[in-house]
Structure 1
Amino acid sequence: MKKLILLLFIVTSLTRVYAQDSLITNIGSRKALSLNGSWQYIVDPYETGFYDYRYHELNEKNGDAYWNTDVPANKTDKKEHGYIAKYTLQVPGDWNHQKPEFVYYEGTVWYKKSFDFHPAESATRYFLYFGAVNYRADVYLNGKKMGMHKGGFTPFNFEVPVSLLKATGNFLVVKVDNKRYADEVPTLNTDWWNYGGITRDVKLVEVPQSFIQDYVIQLKKPLPGKAPAAMPEVTGWIRLNQAQSGGNITITIPELKLKKQVAVIGAITPVSFKLPKLQLWSPEHPKLYQVIVATSNDRVEDKIGFRTVEAYGKQVLLNGKPIFMRGISIHGEIPQEVRRAVGPEDAKQLLGQARELGCNMVRLAHYPHDEAMTRLADSLGILVWSEIPVYWTINFGSQEVLNKAKAQLKEMITRDHNRASIIIWSVGNETPVSQTRTDFMHSLITEAKRLDSTRMISAALEVNYSALKDINEVNDPLGQFVDLVAFNEYLGWYGGLPDKCRTTNWSTPYNKPLFISETGAGAKGGFHADSLTRFSEEFQEWYYKEQIAMLKRMPVNFVGLSPWVLNDFRSPKRNNPIYQEGWNRKGLYDDKGNKKKAFYIMQAYYNEMKKKTIK
């Protein structure tokens, strides 16, 4: 009886947490019609296609709305908008790099795609899926609004009534608005390029009437500080799109000769089973298993690695063993083409550069990156810090802004909660200390732990720099709530010169692992001078030499770092006309893909740390 009550409590809790979810995960395993490719567009800075002249939102019957057909019914029909082949953009992709006139554009662009549709013979449902649209997306199909989504880096989907789809000439329109606002996440002020557009894949996904919407299949956390058992236990749940009882869900892992069948008990069915002869996932051995989840009428496949991670005392333990994170921060950008990164090939470039540096970890800053990045990290054995864009000075006193941040947090975690590579969910970066801010961030941490208790939760914290002593303390009050105490420091770039590192030490009042989430100095690739000359490769090289000497004096709870940053990246805040020209120059690679001198300093340090770890 006690077991039954406990089971009902678990199911009730899970249902409460996930009752409003609509996101379908593992889209790559689904039958889908790709809607990528060439889309026609209209630039609409005054949003004429959305509002009337009294600035009221147009209704669906208004023929002047840009989501309606642009084809006149007859020669007397007035149409003041049109989609033609002369004006096209590629999807996925940002608009900034595709047309010179779009470089700095922030506003509304209407995207239109026509497609034909051949419905399945069996009873089937269809969803429009978007990998990401920056920032607000209003989606219309054949003149009907499917819905609206905010958040530039997380996926979303809308169900499409089959009756709305036509055999030919379906008219899909997306109003994309990348304007910045004070009450959005991120807010007005950021230090990266605001790439606008439909920046990730678009698909029309086909599923049966009752389908597997989401699932978590992960190792159960062992007792604190302990390694997984010889025959570890998997716990998790399977979510169907609608509550039902009866029938079974089957989980199969062919390589382990495992076939587990569980009875469906509602919308969410808990699962638990032992895995014999399991090879644990790690950076040295990134073992992935084919996992099949099936019902009587649906089936999805995934590649999943099994591992445990925790902050234990002053260490981070992966599979019960201490790790040192040799990291690098990465922006989702391909600098040599000045565009947003998207897809497997871009992921190969960025993670390949990180591996060449000697990294076993990356910080994906300051927003969730393309799903191709986290899936490739799984395959390559690269640990991942994934973050939402709660950045600098958002409106911490607003419940509405908190809800937006929570929505993005949920979408990030939902998409990637089966990725073995992700060991840290981050709720923000460099947020200024105040009680209001700490309450806001604490709420996000609580939400993250509720959504996923198997990973560490962190944020890049503030530092108390001492003017009188040579000890800087990471005592941000948010440190009491995070699992990993992470902080950004630029000693020798912002404040003093790199030799200041020689007498500086670090401490924290929190008995937790300590991680440097950013450190770096700017250098224009190819500019050489003496080491005292700012923006020279020699200054950046000196900076890293002094940093590494300081790192060797870090306290025993120092568990790694992710320097800022892998590649130079675009930023409107960086306006030195000689050395920056709209680029943040802190990359270890320049904007042409060339290694700077500091690259080799970090590479040597990481090789040294790797050898120590092996010993």
Structure 2
Amino acid sequence: MLYPQLTASRMLISLDGFWQFAADHHNDGEEQGWHTGLQSDREIAVPASWNEQYQDLMYFFETGWYEREVEIPQHAQSEKIWLRVGAANYLSTLWVNGIEVGQHEGGHLPFVFEITEFIKFDRPNRITIRVDARIMPDRLPPGAVPEDEMIIGFKGQYPSNYYDFFPYGGINRPVLLFTTPDSYIQNIHTSTKLSGSDGEVNVRITMKNKISGTCRVSIRGTDSSLNRKLTANEADVEIEGCLRVSQARLWCPEDPFLYELEVQLMDDQGAMVDQYVQKFGIRTVVIEGTKLLLNGKPLFLTGFGMHEDFPVLGKGVHPAVLTKDFNLLDWIGANSIRTSHYPYSDEFLHYADRKGLLVIGETPFVGFVRSHYQGNAIRDKAQRVITEMVERDINHPCIIAWSLANEGDTFVPEADAFYKSLYDHAKSLDDSRPITIINCLDVEEDVALKHYDFVSINRYYGWYEQAGRLDEGCRVLDAKLDRCYELLGKPVMITEFGADAVAGVHVDPPELFSEEYQAEMTCRQYEIIRSKPYTIGAHVWSFADFKTSQTPSRVVVNRKGIFTRDRQPKLAAHKLKELWKQ
């Protein structure tokens, strides 16, 4: 469903702020009737992870309960009323006034429920959200994985998630209450292509309709429009058409221009019933030979993998952090990021659209293990999450590719059909962007990469292998890149490379964990990657230090950040700036 918007026909109320909170240590709060009234004397901030707000919650990975009251304006009685949670990790259940409304699985995408029938207009309404953050093998991403199924590290770490970032629990993105008319615009899908200097904008609009009237579609600032007559009581109306923009202004990092598609639902008397404005950019992205082309021009991606991670907030979205991060990306000369290892917030992507940051959107499929290939349960869950991600993000011009998995077990025969099914499913939803998955081991035995549009690999030669032997690590990287292209014959992107550095540690000659070693390794390996005619990008791991589970290989946080966790530059940041802003 469309991102909530305040318009002439829609009301929007933020429920961010302080909520009552209770930790359900035995996961039996529903049996105790917590959904009918939470007995709690503790307040907690939303959006933000619960772990860093209270010391006793840092390693709490059970179920948390949130509650607050809200009064709905009387004039909303004729409207549909909806509640949207941007993301809550991991399994969420919503009650309104003690009545269960619905449940959503998944920690990194929004869920929306209509709550009209549960609302009272003569009293405050109690909103209750239960968030189950338990770590389990069948969740995406998984945890508590048996050691005999692991293909890489994470043995014995605490907590026992099978991925290298902290499994923050809680409501991490905004909670919004909004209204729509009874007849309303439900979804808008745009895709663009070029015809000479003109842009062709294909639109598909879905409405829920109970009136006779007209749907008007136009691009503001142009003479492009289309109308469709509507008959009363059409339960699901879908309008498709193509709008042409002459002398189109193309979206790109240098000029991230956004057009506005206005959709209006009018009744027979010409009065507006519903209105929505969808921003979009006119641009094309294709793989052609060994090149990635944006608007027909070759593009090399410089930037980072990064995390939604900040002190105290955990994975909570905050506009000041977004502003700081985008400022630093611009300062260093990065043109792109990958949303490693899950879809990022709507707010991040809206900002990227406006700022011209190129984004590879990634699913939460990190740490796939062999048992996931047995039966259809995980495949079906994976396809559902792909659908949710693509439907939410398809209109964002900043997203130039999809990544469907990171560092899964792609070396067993069962992975072949599994990853082919994910590719086919994603392509059926969006054939306008290239699709990849990310490999972390030698490609010789990989059975999945061949199905994808370009090859993405994570490589740490000189760190996890050839540790401290940077010359040898660089030679291995050079040879392995050539071997990868020789075997697969597709464009190659290095989605992760880098080294840990403890800020303030300086050693000459450079040694592991020093700022000098990180800076030299990152810059030398970037230049090797950039020199290859078949590479399309190099993303350093990572943008900033981030919190992980406790393990002997991590000193409180993962220190591969070019910036510290509180966003101060290390030596490597200054060196990369010199390379990327030449």
Above 0.5 in TM-score?
Answer: yes
Number of the residue aligned with 2:282: 306
Number of the residue aligned with 2:422: 444
**Residue type at the aligned position of 2:124:** G
Number of the residue aligned with 1:239: 206
Q: Distance in 2 between matches of 1:380 and 1:322?
A: 20
Does the 8 Å CA contact 1:212/1:299 hold for their aligned counterparts?
Answer: yes
Q: Unaligned stretches of 5+ in structure 2?
A: 144-161, 267-272
1:340 is paired with a residue of what secondary structure? coil
Percent of aligned pairs with the same amino acid: 28
Q: Distance in 1 between matches of 2:561 and 2:135?
A: 26
Number of the residue aligned with 2:471: 499
Q: Structure 1 318/474 Cα, relative in aligned 2: closer, same or farther at 3 Å? A: farther
Does the 8 Å CA contact 2:48/2:172 hold for their aligned counterparts?
Answer: yes
Pairwise CA distance, 1:533: 2.3
Number of the residue aligned with 1:252: 218
Q: RMSD in angstroms over aligned alpha carbons?
A: 2.1
Number of the residue aligned with 2:34: 66
Q: Structure 1 552/130 Cα, relative in aligned 2: closer, same or farther at 3 Å? A: closer
Q: Distance in 2 between matches of 1:332 and 1:360?
A: 18
Does the 8 Å CA contact 1:499/1:546 hold for their aligned counterparts?
Answer: no
Pairwise CA distance, 1:589: 0.4
Moved more, 367-376 or 156-165: 156-165
Pairwise CA distance, 1:246: 6.1
2:104 is paired with a residue of what secondary structure? strand
**Residue type at the aligned position of 1:257:** D
Pairwise CA distance, 1:250: 1.4
Pairwise CA distance, 1:461: 2.0
Does the 8 Å CA contact 1:184/1:404 hold for their aligned counterparts?
Answer: no
Instruction: Give the alignment partner of residue 196 of structure 1, picking from 157, 164, 169.
Output: 169
Instruction: Give the alignment partner of residue 571 of structure 2, picking from 577, 597, 600.
Output: 597
Question: Residue by residue, what CA displacement relative to the aligned partner does 1:231-280 show, whole Å, maximum 9, x if unpaired?
Answer: 222113001136x7964321222222333223459532212121112100
Does the 8 Å CA contact 2:310/2:566 hold for their aligned counterparts?
Answer: no
**Residue type at the aligned position of 1:274:** R
Pairwise CA distance, 1:559: 1.0
Pairwise CA distance, 1:459: 1.3
Q: Structure 1 294/531 Cα, relative in aligned 2: closer, same or farther at 3 Å? A: farther
Alignment of 1:32 with 2:32, yes or no, is no
Q: Distance in 2 between matches of 1:68 and 1:475?
A: 54
Per the normalisation by structure 1, the TM-score is: 0.84
Question: Residue by residue, what CA displacement relative to the aligned partner does 1:373-410 show, whole Å, maximum 9, x if unpaired?
Answer: 11111111110011111112342324222222222211
Q: Distance in 1 between matches of 2:118 and 2:21?
A: 26
Pairwise CA distance, 1:40: 0.5
Q: Distance in 2 between matches of 1:317 and 1:150?
A: 36
Query: What number of residue pairs does the alignment pair up?
Result: 541
Instruction: Give the alignment partner of residue 367 of structure 1, picking from 322, 342, 347.
Output: 342
Number of the residue aligned with 1:540: 518
Number of the residue aligned with 1:318: 294
1:74-113 matched pairs, under 5 angstroms = 82-83=39-40, 86-113=41-68
Q: Distance in 1 between matches of 2:218 and 2:203?
A: 14
Q: Distance in 1 between matches of 2:140 and 2:545?
A: 24
Does the 8 Å CA contact 1:25/1:414 hold for their aligned counterparts?
Answer: no
Does the 8 Å CA contact 1:330/1:565 hold for their aligned counterparts?
Answer: yes
Alignment of 1:486 with 2:417, yes or no, is no
Q: Distance in 1 between matches of 2:229 and 2:243?
A: 14
Pairwise CA distance, 1:172: 1.0
Number of the residue aligned with 1:329: 305
Number of the residue aligned with 1:477: 447
Does the 8 Å CA contact 1:548/1:605 hold for their aligned counterparts?
Answer: no
**Residue type at the aligned position of 2:137:** A
Question: Residue by residue, what CA displacement relative to the aligned partner does 1:501-541 show, whole Å, maximum 9, x if unpaired?
Answer: 13632132333221111111001111112344221111112
Alignment of 1:427 with 2:400, yes or no, is no
1:159-178 matched pairs, under 5 angstroms = 159-162=114-117, 164-178=119-133
1:115-130 matched pairs, under 5 angstroms = 115-120=70-75, 123-130=78-85
1:494 is paired with a residue of what secondary structure? coil
Number of the residue aligned with 2:253: 283
**Residue type at the aligned position of 1:450:** S
Number of the residue aligned with 1:588: 562
Pairwise CA distance, 1:203: 1.5
1:512 is paired with a residue of what secondary structure? coil
Instruction: Give the alignment partner of residue 325 of structure 2, picking from 345, 350, 374.
Output: 350
Question: Residue by residue, what CA displacement relative to the aligned partner does 1:21-79 show, whole Å, maximum 9, x if unpaired?
Answer: xx34455665222211111011111022124xxxxxxxxxxxx3110136xxxxxxxxx
Q: Distance in 2 between matches of 1:564 and 1:216?
A: 33
Pairwise CA distance, 1:474: 6.8
Number of the residue aligned with 2:488: 510
Q: Distance in 2 between matches of 1:402 and 1:212?
A: 31
Q: Structure 1 582/285 Cα, relative in aligned 2: closer, same or farther at 3 Å? A: same
Q: Distance in 1 between matches of 2:16 and 2:424?
A: 37
2:35 is paired with a residue of what secondary structure? coil
Pairwise CA distance, 1:302: 2.5
Moved more, 454-463 or 521-530: 454-463
Question: Residue by residue, what CA displacement relative to the aligned partner does 1:422-455 show, whole Å, maximum 9, x if unpaired?
Answer: 0011101011222222322221111111111111
Does the 8 Å CA contact 2:522/2:540 hold for their aligned counterparts?
Answer: no
